[in-house]
Structure 1
Amino acid sequence: MTLLFLSELYDYLTPKIAEDLFVDTTRGSKLRINFDVVFPSIPCNLLSLDAMDLSGEQHVNVQHNIYKRKLDLQGRPLQDPERQEHIGHSKDDSTNTTQGSTAEVTTPKCGSCYGANQRKINVKDAYRTKGWAVPPLKDIEQCVREGKLVESEELPKEGCQMYGYLEVNRVGGNFHIAPGKSFQHNHLHIHDVQQYKTKDFDLSHRIRHLSFGYNIPGKTNPIDGTEFTTEKGPKTITYYVKIVPTTYERVDGSTLSTNQFSVTQHQKSLQMGLGESGLPGVFFTYELSPMMVKYTEKHKSLGHFLTGVCAIIGGIYTVAGLIDAAIYHSHRALQRKIEIGKAT
């Protein structure tokens, strides 16, 4: 009886979740994207994060609320997380490559822009402003002097963990993590990977976490812990995400607006230099469902609980009475047989 009562009490105190489906009429809110991705074979200095949506809004080389952590080849952290402000060589790399020439370090020199006619800015930025193709870096005086000719095979043998969150418009779009510095030119989104050997790119990665909004109690994200291994070379790895807006209403009346999602994955190998369009990197393309799911926590009423307790008590006494009656009548019948001498 005590066990049944405790079971009923636990059932009464534990809220039940009711699910409802209806058309999503919410507008104007932002979509929060939380992610944590590890690239075991690409250094942090090479990776950039960009986001764009169907409304035309673009975020190039996102840095706000985004952190990078250098990892060794075994995945162990080499330093504390930090915000990445430059894509390419770090300041330490540039300093180390110029230690041999004190005159070059202490006396800045503005070299030629090779026809781009843009002084005191990065040569490659000057070419992009003009809409010209950037020449080989070995032919640019500044790049030779500042040690910017390192190709991917000469980059540090380390990995990178990139994590943080984005807030984007609540419309379809994509965000991607790709090698090279990103920029816009003539309404085109471009990543500068000219100084790197794309055949050495290893885009193998592990998605530690991906969610859109806050976590719902009892629900898990479908690709958390997913590991994707691929061969070296330029590849476009795309995750197609279908987002379902979700509302979670607690017993106390507070409401949590978040999202659930499903995902499929596709990989495409690129032939760089043969006129094939595409960008090497990991892409997350998402679209929102017009339907919304609502989860509502509900408690049993006190009357329902008391009815259950009474049913337990009444059921126990009824069963006990039936057992007692059966034992009593069996004993009386046996006594009668003994009295008339028919018992064996």
Structure 2
Amino acid sequence: MENLFNKLRNFDAYPKINEDFYSRTLSGGVITLASSIFMILLFISELRLYLHEVPETKLEVDTSRGETLRINFDVTFPALPCSILSLDAMDVSGEQHLDVKHDIIKKRIDANGNAIESRQDGISAPKVEKLLQRHGGRLDHNETYCGSCYGAEVSEEDCFNSCEEVREAYRKIGWGMSNPDLIDQCKREGFLQRIKDEGGEGCNLYGFLEVNKVAGNFHFAPGKSFQKENVHVHDLLAFQKDSFNISHRVNRLAFGAYFPGATNPLDGVEWVQKSPHGMYQYFIKVVPTIYTEINGHSIQTNQLSVTEHFRGSELGRPQTLPGVFFFYDLSPIKVTFVEQHVSFLHFLTNVCAIIGGMSSFHCLIKLKVNDLIRSFSQTFNILT
């Protein structure tokens, strides 16, 4: 048995050194103290990493089909009134949503950015009770008003009792309204006067869009939009203005829900128009993302990358539509984040590495310092 113990004793890789062969020094104490503090800091950092969830990232091909994309936005136009702003959305599949009003709030703001009024479906004009009949004259007792649409009606029985209804009928057949004062409904509602009264105001639009999960665009622009010879145009003649200031600030723009660590590159972006005409374009690459929390709950959302471009009116080219356009395209690669805890064995391995590494570093530094002190002492003795 004693022979067995002697053999085991020979396997000792760290034999003890007799106290007669080592000494304690001031420099060694300073180095030991500094190494211990650094070791404790590394241990605390590793412990925090072990106690918190760490997301693991994977890339894979996005094979999802038939899903929709939710676009959350909050955009402020300091120099465009709410009454002339409209929102359109369209995609490569041919689906169009013109003059979107559902799930959207328009907030009128003054020149200082203070809120004046906030309503859903935009700022609509009040209904006018006393209007002329379709063929002129006054309304008889118990007779209802039926306004004319000046050639834009589909049938003789169609009634248009507000300026907004007439403008919508014009839009559907691809007509522009050159002079609202020639439309009885618009004249009595004070369409042009309301636009003049809102001069100097701005507009804050916020809400969300539900679109197909395909490439497309949505844009904010003045006037009603319509299709004319397969071209998307806006009726700007009704406002009787030569230029529109499309300076804007993107307070928030997100394609999907928020997830931990998400950053939206357009949040807080501001642009000021310096030329009289042009459109501002954002080209967005949408990366599908799935974030799975430690409890198993998954968040299906998206990440963004953006490039910007201003397209002005140049000689030899037709005047561009004033507005702010967001063109988006989807990446075929999907990013998945899965929260998970660091295993205890991994934590233990890192702690051992910290202790072993700092011990080796401590010994090396101590040897180097002792050599320097010894060399300095020898040099000093020779000089003296």
Specify the TM-score bucket, using the shorter chain as the normaliser: 0.7 to 0.9
Q: Compute the displacement of 1:246 (Å).
A: 1.6
CA contact (8 A) 1:198 1:233 kept: no
**182, 188, 213: which is aligned to 1:170?**
213
What is the aligned partner in structure 2 of residue 333 from structure 1? none
Instruction: Write the distance in 1 (CA, Å) between the matches of 2:267 and 2:299.
Output: 21
Pairs within 5 Å for 1:1-344: 3-79=41-117, 81-85=118-122, 90-91=125-126, 110=146, 113-116=149-152, 119-121=158-160, 122-128=165-171, 134-150=177-193, 153-183=196-226, 189-231=232-274, 233-270=276-313, 276=318, 278-311=320-353
CA contact (8 A) 1:245 1:259 kept: yes
Q: Compute the displacement of 1:51 (Å).
A: 0.8
Instruction: Write the distance in 2 (CA, Å) between the matches of 1:268 and 1:318.
Output: 63
Instruction: Write the distance in 2 (CA, Å) between the matches of 1:254 and 1:229.
Output: 42
Q: Deviations over 1:237-281 (max 9, x none)?
A: 11111111122222333322211111112222348xx99374321
Gap runs ≥5 in structure 1? 96-102, 326-344
Paired amino acid for 1:242: K
Paired amino acid for 1:197: Q
CA contact (8 A) 1:209 1:224 kept: yes
Q: Compute the displacement of 1:85 (Å).
A: 4.7
Paired amino acid for 2:210: E
Gap runs ≥5 in structure 2? 1-35, 130-137, 368-384
Compared CA separation, residues 319 and 58, structure 1 to 2 (3 A): closer
Moved more, 109-118 or 36-45: 109-118
Compared CA separation, residues 201 and 153, structure 1 to 2 (3 A): farther
Paired amino acid for 1:257: Q
Instruction: Write the distance in 2 (CA, Å) between the matches of 1:322 and 1:113.
Output: 93
Instruction: Write the distance in 2 (CA, Å) between the matches of 1:45 and 1:252.
Output: 47
Compared CA separation, residues 25 and 84, structure 1 to 2 (3 A): same
For the residue of structure 1 that corresponds to 2:305, the secondary structure is strand
Paired amino acid for 1:30: T
CA contact (8 A) 1:153 1:197 kept: no
For the residue of structure 2 that corresponds to 1:303, the secondary structure is helix
Compared CA separation, residues 60 and 322, structure 1 to 2 (3 A): closer
Moved more, 150-159 or 36-45: 150-159
Q: Deviations over 1:108-165 (max 9, x none)?
A: 8656554556552244455556655545333334433332233855534211111111
Instruction: Write the distance in 2 (CA, Å) between the matches of 1:200 and 1:33.
Output: 29
Paired amino acid for 1:120: C
For the residue of structure 2 that corresponds to 1:199, the secondary structure is coil
For the residue of structure 1 that corresponds to 2:44, the secondary structure is helix
Q: Compute the displacement of 1:299 (Å).
A: 2.1
- The higher radius of gyration belongs to 2
Instruction: Write the distance in 1 (CA, Å) between the matches of 2:261 and 2:284.
Output: 21
Identity among equivalent pairs (%): 46
Q: Compute the displacement of 1:282 (Å).
A: 0.8
Moved more, 145-154 or 58-67: 145-154
What is the aligned partner in structure 1 of residue 30 from structure 2? none
Instruction: Write the distance in 2 (CA, Å) between the matches of 1:276 and 1:316.
Output: 71
Moved more, 67-76 or 301-310: 301-310
TM-score, structure 2 length as denominator? 0.69
Paired amino acid for 2:256: G
Q: Compute the displacement of 1:91 (Å).
A: 2.0
Paired amino acid for 1:49: L
Compared CA separation, residues 26 and 142, structure 1 to 2 (3 A): closer
Compared CA separation, residues 43 and 186, structure 1 to 2 (3 A): same
Q: Compute the displacement of 1:225 (Å).
A: 0.7
Instruction: Write the distance in 2 (CA, Å) between the matches of 1:188 and 1:231.
Output: 27
CA contact (8 A) 1:69 1:77 kept: yes
Instruction: Write the distance in 2 (CA, Å) between the matches of 1:276 and 1:285.
Output: 21
For the residue of structure 2 that corresponds to 1:160, the secondary structure is strand
Over the aligned positions, Cα root-mean-square deviation in angstroms equals 3.8
Instruction: Write the distance in 2 (CA, Å) between the matches of 1:181 and 1:24.
Output: 37
Instruction: Write the distance in 2 (CA, Å) between the matches of 1:256 and 1:129.
Output: 39
CA contact (8 A) 1:200 1:232 kept: no
Instruction: Write the distance in 1 (CA, Å) between the matches of 2:169 and 2:285.
Output: 40
For the residue of structure 2 that corresponds to 1:149, the secondary structure is helix
For the residue of structure 1 that corresponds to 2:239, the secondary structure is coil
CA contact (8 A) 2:83 2:122 kept: no
Moved more, 222-231 or 315-324: 315-324
For the residue of structure 2 that corresponds to 1:91, the secondary structure is coil
